[in-house]
A and B are shown apart, each in its own frame.
Chain A
Amino acid sequence: MNKTLNQKAWLFVIPVFVLVAFNAAIPLMTVVNYSFQETFGSNVFAWEGTRWFKEILHSERFHASLGRQVIFTFIILLIQLPLGIGIALSMPKKGWGVPVCLILMSMPLLIPWNVVGAMWNIFALPEIGFLGNSLNSIGFDYNFTQQSGDAWFTTILMDVWHWTSLVVLLSYAGLNSIQPAYYQAAEIDGASRWDIFRYIELPKMKKVLTLAILLRFMDSFMIYTEPFVLTGGGPGNATNFLSLDLVKMALGQFDLGPAAAMSLIYFLIVLLICWIFYTIMMKDEGRT
């Protein structure tokens, strides 16, 4: 029996192709296009090969902002994860306290990022801001617009305030999915509070915590709006994180080639770290 070849089915896939093309492929390919060429006005391009990539990878400026970015993200994760889990553990499990806590925790997440930056900018101003003024009046020499340490302190504090709730909410959901029988079984075994945390709660929260770490890593590694409004990358280059630097290069100096190469490297770093991290965290899960 001869089968008639019918290719009509491909037609149905076209809308998806178009959508994905506009949404992801075309913008990405434009960046790739820029990264291998030198651009002149009126759409004149010249092939440069891998020059921009080499330049970026050897540039001290890129190393410096990448270093700042890694340190920032590392500190953020180090503070937000234990703090988030801690808050989730101490939140009530039933009664009127639950909705109150959940609403309080959700609030920072609902505020637009630039508003958070502006809020903290005003809050931390050394003369008139409540935080800045209070710190100065109790004897600290605090000025986030002048001193690098203070700028870092304020940026980290702002991010902790803004994003710890996400870790709290995810951990809380994870904790609530643990059946009460686990706690009873541990009680019968005579397990301590620490044992319960270490051998029941932590393993049971593994999936949501993986998600929390991934989300917090990606967001903090790509942070832009809040430090842009708060410090603008200053003082000097003290809080000039990767994405701030990228925008300065692309739109400030109009170095489109190097900026395109940098964004591709940036993108690959995020992708690589997420992949490594996810693989390590999930290596036990594949067996089931």
Chain B
Amino acid sequence: MNELEKLKQELKKINAEAVGVKDLPVEKRAEFGRKINTKKAEILAKIAEAEKALLDVDAEPIDVTAWSGTNEAMPEFYPTEFGSKHPLMTELDRVIEIYQMMGFDVMESRQLDDEFHMFDSLNFAKEHPARDGYDTFRTEEGLIPPAHTSTMEHRALKKYKYKLEKGEPIAVVIPGRVYRNEDVDATHEHTFYQCEGMFVSKDCTLGNMLGVLREFFERYYEQKLEIRTQPGYFPFTEPSVELLIEKPKSLGGKKGDWLEMLGCGMTHPNVLKMAGIDPTVYHGFAWGGGIERLVLLKYALGDIRLFESGNLNFLREFN
């Protein structure tokens, strides 16, 4: 209380002082005004702080070791009907589960990374225009909230390289949250989820890649599916391909409807080399696709912004 009173007195003094400005020669007024304003701002901040503290002083202590309040009933859990799981996480779980059944290990993607993992280790030339396509955010330190889960490829290769030495392939999927500097609207989010996949062995082929991806989508949609490709460009794969699947019947697909699902390709030799894997001995393939799209399609949702909205009316739909 005293502290606050003192601060308020001080503020009064400054206000009184401020009146003196009219007695000053014109050329000195600006300087004087600036000084007074700085002082005033400091005091106001302190007053706000003190008022906050005053509010907090009112809090009554409780026995935090107890399990109910004095003269209160024991608290109850909310009914199960209130409970819900986030649809993106549920879908991600399902995706991971399918890949696990197909023999893929799971690793998680980071949410703040550096230029090396995001670009250099993926064979992006320094300053190359291809880096622009990713619309990355950056921190003051030059760190990057990754724009794709491929940011984990180098780490995954290093982590599982021992398997190659044992004569086993590297097979891993890496889901995670990624970020792009994009204006948000019904179809664009700056924050979203992807799942990366990698496979490395002595003799894997582009045909194997198509095989794995078709198998995944057939298991995911629980039906036989046609797949199609179109050429793509990613610095970290060569050849690079975009994969399309026939629109599944469960999504109302008709013959001739195609869905673009993900980008993929044979891992560029430089990517393997940088992780200490000899590209003349081993081949690899990799892919990455978004999770939101799977969920939007599944529930015929039209607005991607719902996912990060925290809106319970939406969330409780997924009981």
Q: A and B: real partners?
A: no
Residues on A lying within 8 angstroms of B by beta carbon are none
Q: Taking beta carbons and an 8 Å cutoff, which residues of B are in contact with A?
A: none
